[in-house]
A and B are shown apart, each in its own frame.
Chain A
Amino acid sequence: MINEELYEHSESVNELLARYGVKFGIYKNGVFHEQLFPFDMIPRVIEKDEFEFLERGLKQRVKALNEFINDIYHDKKIITDGVVAEEFIYSGSGYLVQCDGISPPKNIFTHIAGIDLVQSKNGEWFILEDNLRVPSGASYPMIARELCRRSFPEEFEKYHVEDNRNYAEILSRTMSYVNTGGLSVILTPGRFNAAYFEHSYLAERTGARLVTCEDLIVDDEHLYFIDYSGKRERISDEYLDPVNFNRESLIGIPHIFDIYSKGNVALINAPGNGVADDKGIYYFVPAMIKYYLGEEPILNNAPTYLPYYDKDKQYVLENFDKLVIKDVAEAGGYGVTFGNKLSKQEKENFIALIKSEPRRFIAQEVIDFIDIDIYDNGQAVPRKADLRAFVLMSDEPVVWKSGLTRFSRNPDSFIVNSSQGGGFKDTWVMKE
């Protein structure tokens, strides 16, 4: 049995992961903690055919999302044609008015998309979320695979798994494709950022320089990197974490947005693309696919209702107990409420809130998604797990043949986010 063979190496691999500092940081009550991200040896295995199906669906989805962002910041045809409700665009926090009219290099907004999926017990896959604001996580299965191969190289060969160590190449290609003629850098807010391990690992693997805001300066119409000798080198490519990008206060790199709007630097991912990963906008993605590509969606959303529409609100109120309600402004597993877990009083309050602020919530059918075994104290036990697939855009979208499988360590929980104490697995896409 493969799983048991793998489990024998669990301790040595986890030890290596700790030594390499595979951690993520979280803020709780305003204090920064760094945690190891628990790794479970049993991989999620996806057969070749199945992955090819996912690949088609994911490419289609990301293409449509990119078209959508382009449209929203230019002609807004999808609003004029009444396919997407205007209010969800303009009163959502993801829409950045400053980006209106700006065309990024090669018109790419969604350079790196992290699409979260789950598989239901009858085998059907559902999209749960589109993450377009530089989704993190690819580095974890990359390094886990690397360290597993190092621990038991011969055994690994016989499994016929697609090599996932090419993520760095795909990312480099994505960066070069939009490069406007300078250095590639990966910008990190620094050591105390949740994704610092990822930033440093990807910089090392792609050969891009890891920089902080202090290393970059805008002079005239270009961005420069200041090296230790004080020399300035022109930069035209950038991996920017837009969460830390606060243009209005000009904190960060002053004028980077000004020169971006002139086309003198590429920012990955493009600022403003949060407009498409809003939980409210998610509802409209299947309609977007039909609208922009003239195709039927290959991968479905989990059945979703917008209380903003009266018909949906009616359904939500009548079926409250079997739905999961999400606050569109929250992320990372926060703001998620299961209807059946509320007391009578809590339920009444919550329904009143939905009625007064319908724009703020979406409701979804609870998908009973599959369990995958994890080892807990030497014992294989089933736990809920999702999959974050990574789609990188250059001339065409490319789906990385791996992904981050996250699981809940709590047997009763559907919430797999690492910030909520979940762990991760490697994702094996089989060659045959």
Chain B
Amino acid sequence: MQRLRYSYHMQLNFEEPVREHHFKLRCFPSSDERQKIFNEYINIYPTHFSSAEKDSFGNMCIYGAANQTHDHFSVDVKGEAEININGQLKVEAYKAGIFKYETNLTKAGNNIREFHRTLEPSALYTSNFERAKYFMNVLYDEFSYVQGVTGIFTTGEEAFTIRSGVCQDYAHILLALCRLERIPCRYVAGMIPGEGATHAWTEIYDEGKWRLLDPTHNRECDDTYIKISSGRDAQDCSINQGVFYGGGRQRQEVKVIAEKV
């Protein structure tokens, strides 16, 4: 069990003022079997109205609108999380079915397929989790962490082709490999101790439980991983979706701080 303090700050700066800005945010850690959230503070500015809901993956969302003209939009989320990564209860297999199938971002193209063919056969591995861990190990040796070469719409296949990218890319490629063998697996967006941006890792369905792997660091996740959301891929976990009138160019600042208490 580990207690952490976290703060997430996101600001959009618009070159030209915008109006009738409709947003949907997905950046709020919520309590579940593995993590308890305390002292939560949320501030969204500006807003005309906002309303909370859970999406079909169970992620907490806040949607709303800012009708008046504004040139920046900011979101602050702070709180404390108490994490017990092994606290999860059994999940029925039918609920994991959807996570076996590729999405646009996790579709294996020729490069991932070719790589997959060079790997050890799946018969050598006794469980989904062991198999996924093997994929994670070989991916870690093959791939380099490089910032700025991929973006939020880069697919796993595209990132694998240049053998470099960031946490989102590591996660997508691992998911693509697992899904080639119909192993149910999900994408997780969250925070880990340190300062910077949000992090991403994966969950592998194994004998009724979701088990966690962080392919960027080539390790299993521990009690310091604060989950924000999960889904089939990064798109299901998108932190901010919005439409508005006006705006010209926009610049996004994100600052995440998480630390052990």
Interface set of A (CB-CB < 8 Å, partner B): 75-76, 79-80, 86-87, 89-91, 97-102, 218-221, 248, 250-251, 254-255, 258, 261-262
B51 at the interface (CB under 8 A from A): yes
For this complex, 14 residue pairs linking A to B, each with C-beta atoms less than 8 Å apart, are A87-B101, A90-B98, A91-B102, A97-B57, A97-B232, A218-B65, A219-B65, A250-B22, A254-B22, A254-B243, A255-B24, A258-B53, A258-B61, A262-B53
Bound CA–CA A1/B51 (angstroms): 66
Measured between beta carbons, the chain B residues less than 8 angstroms from A97 are 56-57, 98, 232, 236
Q: Which residue of B lies closest to A258 (CB)?
A: B63
Asked if B97 and A76 sit within 8 Å, CB to CB, the answer is: yes
User: Complex formed: what's the CA distance from A76 to B94 in Å?
Assistant: 7
Nearest 4 pairs between A and B by C-beta? Answer: A254-B22, A100-B56, A90-B101, A76-B94
Q: Using Cβ atoms and an 8 Å threshold, which residues of chain A touch B94?
A: 75-76, 79-80
A263 to chain B, nearest CB (A): 11
Give Cα A313 to B65, complex, Å. Answer: 52
| A-binding residues in B (CB < 8 A) | 22, 24, 48-49, 51, 53, 55-57, 61, 63, 65, 93-94, 97-98, 100-102, 232, 235-236, 241-243
6 additional contacts (CB under 8 A) given A76-B97, A258-B24: A79-B94, A97-B232, A248-B235, A250-B24, A250-B243, A254-B243
Q: Which residue of A has the minimal Cβ distance to B243? A: A250
A386 to chain B, nearest CB (A): 34
B97 touches A255 (CB 8 A): no
Q: How far is the CB of B30 from chain A (nearest CB, A)?
A: 16
Given A80-B94, A90-B98, A255-B63, CB of A102 within 8 Å of CB of B49:
no
Known interface pairs A98-B56, A255-B22, A262-B53; A86-B97 also in contact (CB < 8 Å): yes
A100 to B97, CA, bound (A): 12
Majority DSSP secondary structure for residues of B touching A:
mixed
Residues from chain B with a CB closer than 8 A to the CB of A91 are 101-102
Q: Which residue of B lies closest to A250 (CB)?
A: B243
Closest-CB distance, A158 to chain B (whole angstroms)? 57
CB distance from B252 to the nearest CB of A (A): 17
Chain B positions within 8 Å of A86 at CB level: 97, 100
How many Å from the CB of B62 to the closest CB on chain A? 10
Cross-interface CB contact of B49 among A75, A100, A220, A261, cutoff 8 Å = A220
Nearest CB in chain B: distance from A266 CB, A: 18
- Please give me the residue from chain A that is nearest to B241 by CB atom: A250
> How far is A367 from B220 in the complex, measured between Cα atoms in Å?
58
Q: Which residues of B contact A87 (CB under 8 A)?
A: 101
Contacts of B232 in A (CB 8 A): 97
- Give Cα A164–Cα B184 distance, bound, in whole angstroms: 51
Q: Which residues of the other chain, A, contact B102 by a CB distance below 8 angstroms?
A: 91
Among A87, A258, A261, max chain B CB count under 10 A is at A258
B56 touches A254 (CB 8 A): no
A262 vs B54: C-alpha distance when bound (angstroms): 10
CA–CA, A170 to B93, complex, Å? 41
Give bound CA distance, A34 to B49, whole Å: 42
Q: How far is the CA of A90 from the CA of B94 in the complex (A)?
A: 12
* B48 surroundings in chain A (CB, below 8 A): 219
Q: How many Å from the CB of B241 to the closest CB on chain A?
A: 6
Given A219-B49, A255-B22, does the pair A90, B56 have CB atoms closer than 8 Å? Answer: no
Partner of A101, one of B56, B100, B242: B56
Note all chain A residues with C-beta closer than 8 A to B100. Answer: 86, 90
Partner of A221, one of B51, B57, B97, B241: B51
Q: Which residues of A contact B236 (CB under 8 A)?
A: 97
Q: In the complex, A75→B94 CA distance in Å?
A: 8
- Which of B24, B56, B94 has its CB near the most chain A CB atoms (within 10 A)? B56
User: Across the two chains, which residue of chain A brings its CB closest to B50?
Assistant: A220
Q: Are B55 and A251 in contact (CB under 8 A)?
A: no
Distance from B31 Cβ to chain A, minimum over Cβ atoms (Å): 19
Known A80-B94, A90-B100, A250-B24; contact A261-B243, beta-carbon cutoff 8 A: no
Q: In whole Å, how far is A54's beta carbon from the nearest beta carbon of chain B?
A: 35
Q: How far is the CA of A137 from the CA of B25 in the complex (A)?
A: 40
> CB-CB < 8 A to B97: which residues of A?
76, 79, 86, 89-90
**Complex alpha-carbon distance, A80 and B208, angstroms:** 15
Which residues of the partner chain B approach A90 to less than 8 Å between Cβ atoms? 97-98, 100-101
Name B21's closest neighbour in chain A (CB-CB): A254
Chain B residues, Cβ within 8 Å of A99: 56
Contacts of A258 in B (CB 8 A): 24, 51, 53, 61, 63
Q: Kindly state the separation between the CA atoms of A100 and B63 in the bound complex, as whole angstroms.
A: 19
For the complex formed, measure the closest distance between the CB of A371 and the CB atoms of chain B, giving whole angstroms: 43
Q: How far is the CA of A75 from the CA of B98 in the complex (A)?
A: 13
B242 to chain A, nearest CB (A): 7
Q: Considering the chains assembled together, what is the distance between the CA atoms of A76 and B93 in angstroms?
A: 11
Closest beta carbon of chain B to A281's beta carbon, Å: 15
CB distance from A75 to the nearest CB of B (A): 8
The minimal Cβ–Cβ distance linking A360 to chain B, given in whole angstroms, is 15
Name the residue on B nearest A96 (C-beta). Answer: B56
In the complex the two chains form, what is the Cα distance from A40 to B2 in whole Å?
A: 76
Within the complex, what minimum Cβ distance (angstroms) separates A284 from chain B?
16
Residues of chain B within 8 A (CB-CB) of A102 are 56
- CB-CB under 8 A from B63, the residues of chain A are 255, 258
Chain B residue at minimum C-beta to C-beta distance from A251: B243
Q: Which residues of A contact B93 (CB under 8 A)?
A: 80
In the assembled complex, which residues on chain B have CB atoms less than 8 Å from the CB atom of A79? 94, 97
Instruction: Across the interface, name the chain A residue whose C-beta is closest to B100.
Output: A90
**Smallest CB gap from A92: residue in B:** B101
Report the Cα distance A90→B100, complex, angstroms.
9
